[in-house]
Amino acid sequence: MLVNEKKLIAYRNFPMVPRVIFGRGSFNQLEEIITPRRRNSFAPFIFFVDDVFKGNAWLTSRIPLSYGDKIIYVSASEEPKTSQVDELVEEIILTTKEKPSGIIGIGGGTLLDLAKAVSIMLTNDGDTRAYQGWDLVKNPAVYHVGIPTISGTGAEVSRTTVLTGPERKLGINSDYTTFDQVILDPELTKDVPKNQWFYTGMDCFIHCIESLNGTYINAFSQSYGEKAYDLCLEVFDSSQLSETEAQDKLMMASWHGGMSIAYSQVGVAHALSYGLSFLLGVKHGIGNCIVFDHLEEFYPEGVAQFKKMKEKHDIELPTGLCADLSDHDFKIMIDVALSLEPLWENALGKDWRKTITEDKLKHLYQMM
C-alpha cells in the first residue's frame, strides 16, 4: 500500500540534540563550549550539580565560573518535583541581575531533568505543573546543556523531563525540552556505586526490551534499540571489557536506548514503575528492576536475560514493597499505571484493555 493520502498517518517530527561531544575528558571543553553563549556579564551560567560531587575537586574544579555564575548543588535522593522546579526558578530570578545565559545540568537523570525543566520555566509563565503533558510549552527555553554522570536513562537525548506534581508524575514533553548541547564524558561515571550502576543501566536495557517488543516498533527505533541492546549485553553479560570500555559503551547504550524510545514508546515495566514511584517514591531505575523481575508473561526473553545479569552482578532487589498496602493504596498505583495509555497500547496493541484489568495489576503489584 502506498502512503499517498494525507490523512493516513501523522508521523512525529521530533527534535534531536543539535550538538554533542563524546570522549573521556571532554568535560574539560565545557568552558570553550559555553563561552560564546554568554550574553553579557550580568547574564550568568547556572550549574545544577548533583550534591554527591560537593567537595569533589576532581570534578568541581573544572566547572568554569566567571562573573555571576554559580553552582547550585541539588540532592538526587528524590526524583524531581514540580514544586522544586518552581523554587529553583524563583531563586534564580531573585538572585541574578538578568535571565541566565544558560543552565547546565551535571548528574544523573534527576539533575538532567531539573536542568531541562528550570530552563523551560525561566521563559514560561506560571507554575511548572501546568506544563506537564504534551506540547504545552509556548516559549523556547534558556540555552541548556546536559552532562550525564551516570548512564542509562537516556534523559540526555529525550524531549521530556519527568516530574512529580501534586496530581501526577508526568513529563514536560516538548520540542523545547531537548538539550541544546550534551557533553558525553564517560570518565564522569567512574565512581557510580555498583548497585546504582546496575539499576540505571537496566533502565536502558528495559527501554530496549519495551521498544523492540512493542507494537510501535519501526525501523528507526529498531536500529537504535538493537544497538543499545547489544551494548547492554556487552557491558552486563560479558567479561571481555575493561572498566573504561564498559563506561564508554554504557554511555552510548543510554544514548541509543533513548533514541529508540523517542520514536516508539516504553511499555509495561514503565507503566507499573510509575505507579510505584508515585505512591512509594521508589526511584526510576530500581523501580523498573523491581517491576521487570515479574514480567515474564509480557517479556519472557528479556526477563530471563535480566535475571541472568542480576545474578552475575550479585544484585539483590528489595521485596515485600507492597506487603502492607491498603486497597486504597493499590488503587492509586493502578490508576497511575492505567492512565499511561500509550505505554499499554505500545506493549499490547489497541485492545490492551481486554487483558489488562485492575485485578491483574493488583496481582502483579502484590508480587513486588
Q: Which residues bind ligand NAD (CB under 6 A)?
A: 50, 52, 76, 79-80, 107-111, 113, 149-150, 152-155, 158, 160-162, 188-189, 191-192, 196, 200, 203, 283-285
Minimum distance from CB of 66 to ligand NAD (Å)? 25
**Nearest to ligand NAD of 143, 278 (CB atom):** 278
CA angle 183/31/113 to nearest 5° reads 40
Alpha helices in 238-357 (DSSP H): 243-262, 268-280, 284-292, 300-312, 327-339, 341-348
Query: In angstroms, what is the minimal distance from the CB of 221 to ligand NAD?
Result: 15
Nearest approach, Cβ of 39 to ligand NAD (angstroms)? Answer: 27
How near is the Cβ of 51 to ligand NAD at its closest, in Å? 7
CB of 326 to Zn ion, least distance (A): 28
Element (H, E) at 360: helix 358-366
Question: Counting contacts by CB under 5 A, is residue 203 touching Zn ion?
Answer: yes
Residue with cell 528492576: 289
CB 150 within 8 Å of CB 111: no
- Of 100 and 108, which CB lies nearer to ligand NAD in the complex structure? 108
Nearer to ligand NAD (CB atom), residue 92 or residue 204: 204
357 neighbors 287 (Cβ within 8 angstroms):
no
Taking CB within 5 to 8 Å according to partner kind, which of ligand NAD, Zn ion, none is near residue 154? ligand NAD
100 binds, among ligand NAD, Zn ion, none (CB under 5 to 8 A by kind): none
Q: Which residue is nearest to ligand NAD (CB)?
A: 109
CB of 155 to ligand NAD, least distance (A): 4
CA-CA distance, 11 to 20, in Å (whole number)? 25
Nearer to Zn ion, 203 or 345 (CB): 203
Residue 214 binding result from Zn ion, ligand NAD, none, given CB thresholds of 5 to 8 Å by partner type: none
Q: Which is nearer to Zn ion, 183 or 206 (CB)?
A: 206
Give 204's DSSP letter: H
Identify whether the C-beta of residue 203 lies closer than 8 Å to the C-beta of residue 163.
no
CB 62 within 8 A of CB 16: no
Cell numbers given for 238: 560479558
Measured from the CB atom, the residue of 100 and 201 that comes closer to ligand NAD is: 201
Segment lying near Zn ion (by CB under 5 A), choices 20-28, 45-53, 119-127, 198-206: 198-206
Residues near 229 by Cβ (< 8 Å), separated by ≥ 6? 205, 208, 209, 212
Do you know the residue count of the chain? 368
Instruction: Say how many residues touch Zn ion, by CB under 5 A.
Output: 1
Q: Quick one: how far is CA 109 from the chain centroid?
A: 5
What are the cell numbers at 229?
541492546
* Nearest distance in Å: CB 288, Zn ion: 6
- Give the nearer residue to ligand NAD in terms of CB position, either 113 or 293: 113
Q: Are 187 and 134 in contact (CB under 8 A)?
A: no
Q: How far is the CB of 169 from ligand NAD (least distance, A)?
A: 8
Return phi, psi of residue 344, to 5°: -70, -40
Which residue's CB is nearer to ligand NAD, number 96 or number 119?
119
Binding residues (CB under 5 A) for Zn ion: these are 203
